[in-house]
Amino acid sequence: RIAGAPFEEQLVQLATGDARGEVRLWNVADGAAQGALLAHASPVTAAAYSPDGKLLHTASADGSWKMWQLPLAPPRTLVTAADAATKLALSADGKQLVVGAADGKLSIVDPTMATPQTPKELAGQAGAPTALAIAGGLIASGNAVGEVRVWNAADGAARGVIAGHTGVVRDIAIS
């Protein structure tokens, strides 16, 4: 998995996660390694930077979601899911982190809160999410059978199901 950190509209750092649970940080300009950490006990399945590039969120097949302060500092575990965390989406303001798990659960937390919180669960996801997005007050999740489900980001209320793909939904963009 790869995530890029925005800074003055240019990518300056790249984060990669591997099957051993390691996350590595790289300088985009020259390819130099900036750090490595054993982030998770299982494969890294997703990564996302905060809009200001000061936080890196990672998820793992072990069900954990972690938030790393940059420059590197010890992580804060936000919550651990019952099943593998497979997808992450972070709102543009950095105040809503949506995590999709292999068991089909979608959870929302505010990563800016000082203490861990009970995640808000979104109802209705059919199977593990294969794509996830949050923008414009909406959360959208795709699955392996071609469905896209949409919720209000503010209250988690279901907005509907969009069906039409005949296979896996690989990505979602909201404008």
- Confidence (pLDDT) at 6: 42
Q: Are 174 and 133 in contact (CB under 8 A)?
A: yes
- What band does 80 get if pLDDT is binned at 50, 70 and 90? low
Structure tokens at 114: 């000082």
Question: Is the predicted pLDDT of residue 134 greater than 90, yes or no?
Answer: yes
99 CB contacts (<8 Å, ≥6 apart)? 59, 65, 79, 81, 85, 87, 88, 106, 107, 108, 109, 119
